[in-house]
Amino acid sequence: MSRKTGQGAKGLRQFLDQDQQAAWLDGRANPVDAAERQESFEQRLRYAARFQKLLRRPQASGLLGILEFYGRNAIPIPRATERAYWSVSCLPSTSDKPLVRVNASWMELFTLYADGDDLRARFIVHLSDFTTDGSLAPERIDLRFLEQDARVSEEVSHSVPGSSDLVIIGMRGAAAIRRFLGVPRALRAVRRFNLTHMNRGRNAYQASHCYGLADYMMGEGAA
């Protein structure tokens, strides 16, 4: 596959040009990924114990299934861009106490938390993908889509931070999270936000990347 990119391109544009990214965004093409991952054995060992601790949590099975779907469907060419342009953290030491967090550039993309023995999620996406008219007006949030079309009405919440093109969508329950990611409009919005930040340059969270979790995101986890 040809991967023509502009001179001086940064981020994901080094691998996929605008047309290739647009085709992936719309589900018209699945770009050929790298055959092998560029792995750091030292980095894998650094988070091995933390990863094993996560596996003992009651939410582990549902969490790994969601991450596998997310890695396969929401991140373009994940092997070629692993760690350098996206990363996944295991039990990161932040005040909100997440189980896992996916980042790109300087931005959080997707976070999973414990909710009793179940899960809750936080998606950060473009506000314009969830308004009725594609605007940045919070009052134009498409509540019908979130509450009916996405079939997560009892489990979903949203907030709009400031005046930027961002909306934070909260979701409770592993089943609701999986349903949301399976809705074409929702998945496209997640993809578009991820493209935005993977194109902004190298990932600032490389030091916290957990290869054990990334194995599952690329379908290479233990059966």
Residue 38 has phi, psi (to 5 degrees) of: -90, 95
Report the relative pairing of strands 87-90 and 167-172 from DSSP bridges: unpaired
Per-residue pLDDT of the chain (223 residues; tens, 9 = 90+): 344 555 577 899 999 999 999 999 999 999 999 999 998 999 999 999 999 999 999 999 999 999 999 999 999 999 999 999 999 999 999 999 999 999 999 999 999 999 999 999 999 999 999 999 999 999 999 988 887 655 656 688 889 987 789 999 999 999 989 989 999 999 999 999 999 999 999 999 999 999 999 999 999 977 5
**Cβ-based neighbours of 190, under 8 Å, separated by 6 or more:** 70, 74, 109, 110, 123, 125, 181
221's tokens:
């986890």
Collect contacts of 30-33 with beta carbons under 8 A, ≥24 apart: 31/1, 31/76, 31/77, 32/1, 32/77, 33/77, 33/78, 33/79, 33/80
- Measured distance CA(106)–CA(121) in Å, rounded: 19
189's tokens:
């919005």
Give the side-chain half-sphere CA count within 13 A for 125. 24
The one-letter code for the residue type at 174 is A
Which letter does DSSP use for residue 210 in this model?
A: -
The one-letter code for the residue type at 74 is A
Could you tell me if 37 and 79 are in contact, meaning their C-beta atoms sit under 8 angstroms apart? yes
Nearest to residue 78, comparing CAs of 124, 44, 32?
32
**Cβ-based neighbours of 162, under 8 Å, separated by 6 or more:** none
Answering whether pTM is above 0.95, one says: no
Domain ranges of the chain: 52-217
Tell me how far apart the terminal alpha carbons of the chain are, to the nearest angstrom. Answer: 31
